[in-house]
Copies of this chain bind each other. A is one copy, B any other.
Amino acid sequence: MPVTVKQIAELAGVSRGTVDRALNGRGNVRPEVEKRILQIAEEMGYTPNRAGKALAYQRKNLSFGIVANAHGNEFFDDLLKGAQTAADEYSDFGLSLKIAGGRRYDVTQQLQQLSDFQAAGVSGIAISPINLPEVERKINELVAAGIKVITVNSDIENTGRLCYVGCNYYQSGITAGGMLRLMRPEGVRAGIVTGSIRMLGHNRRMKGFSDAVKQLPDSAIADVCESLDEQEVAYEETRKMLMAHPEINTLYFAAAGAVGGMQAAVDLGLQGLTVISCDDTQEIRRLVRAGLIQATVCQEPFRQGYRAVQILFDAVVNNIPPAEEFCYMDNIIRIQENL
């Protein structure tokens, strides 16, 4: 049978209130008493009962905020669904999840959302941060105010964020390269379509991909272009790249843009291209089913949101910090047959 506060209290010859104060460092306990209580708890292997805690927490107003600036984006919708699912599993603690969506890459908006969350009294925040000093500072301000912050999907340095939950971008690129190792043994001439060279994640993917391709016999990166996550731009840039490099036999989409890019390839009448993309949005699925994309490397957006809330909860409610600073999702290879 698990140990309870009551039992510890009896053994220590004090009241449950005192035990509670000692165990949770609320102060107002004589040091020697505190020491004794902690020791007993330790010896008996005390772990708080989740249900008791939950019931007591209902009178607080526990809430987390999540900042994912990309409304309507299928990827972030999945991530938010995961976060909401986890939050629902803690509903007996009275936990509510506040969601901040809105335009992407809008720093003013993001800073405002963070301030709003703080004003609303959230205890934890998960954010997909814009990688700028202002955001860095704001996050540190929140952390200093006692709010637990973690990053999801994108990371940001020099902050007191507890951990990063998201894609292992480098390995994602490596994995894409690995598929080419298996599919293009005669050698790879790769064209890369990235999102933006200003995006850390995209760059890490490219680095992983390049490193992997360099290992392959008779292989090289032919060229790189940017889609800026827009299909029209992807179309034009991919078209230019393919025309300038007729030796390209492989395309790697390190971000959004596969729809536009593949349209360019089709319009140019190119056959036999090997194409690897990232993620599995509806549009990507369609291209995989159509046989235009051979494989796509996915990053479990649902689980990212789910884990983010779980980790916040453990940190805030159970005072258990994340096991690792980088909580990476699996890089899932999907082909037509297991889409």
Q: Give the docked Cα–Cα distance between A4 and B36 (Å).
A: 40
Contacting pair B91 A50 (CB below 8 A): yes
Contact B335 A93 (CB under 8 A): no
Residue of A50, A52, A336 with most chain B CB atoms under a 10 A cut-off: A50
Question: Which of B50, B182, B330 contacts A92 (CB under 8 A)?
Answer: B50
Name which residue of chain B comes closest to A212, CB basis.
B337
A178: nearest chain-B partner, CB-CB: B337
Which residue from chain B places its CB closest to the CB of A174 in the assembled complex? B337
Instruction: Write the chain B residue with the least CB distance to A182.
Output: B183
Chain A 169-202 interface mask (CB, 8 Å, partner B; 1/0):
0010011011101110000000000000000000
Q: Which of B51, B93, B336 contacts A93 (CB 8 A)?
A: B51
- Residues from chain B with Cβ under 8 Å of A171 in the complex: 337-338
State A332–B183 Cα separation when bound (angstroms). Answer: 18
Copy number in this complex?
A: 2
Interface of A is mostly: helix
Instruction: Assess whether A338 is in contact with B175, with CB atoms less than 8 Å apart.
Output: yes
Instruction: Look across to chain B and name the residue whose beta carbon is closest to the beta carbon of A333.
Output: B333
**Quick one: which of A306-339 are within 8 Å of B by CB?**
330-338
A159 at the interface (CB under 8 A from B): no
Encode contact with B along A207-233: 1 for CB under 8 Å, 0 otherwise: 000001000000000000000000000
Q: Does A54 contact B (CB under 8 A)?
A: yes
- Distance A183 CA – B175 CA, assembled complex (angstroms): 15
* Docked pose: A178 CA to B333 CA in angstroms: 12
Does B51 lie within 8 Å of A337, measured CB to CB? no
Task: Flag if A337 contacts B175 (CB, 8 Å).
Answer: yes
Residue of B nearest to A176 (CB): B337
A14 touches B (CB below 8 Å)? no
Q: Cα distance A295–B181 when bound, in Å?
A: 12
**B-binding residues in A (CB < 8 A):** 2, 49-55, 58, 91-93, 171, 174-175, 177-179, 181-183, 212, 294-295, 330-338
Enumerate the 3 nearest inter-chain pairs by beta-carbon distance, A residue then B residue, closest first: A178-B337, A51-B54, A50-B92
User: 16 pairs across A/B with beta carbons < 8 Å?
Assistant: A50-B91, A50-B92, A51-B55, A51-B58, A51-B92, A52-B55, A54-B92, A175-B337, A177-B337, A179-B182, A181-B337, A182-B182, A182-B335, A330-B338, A331-B338, A333-B338
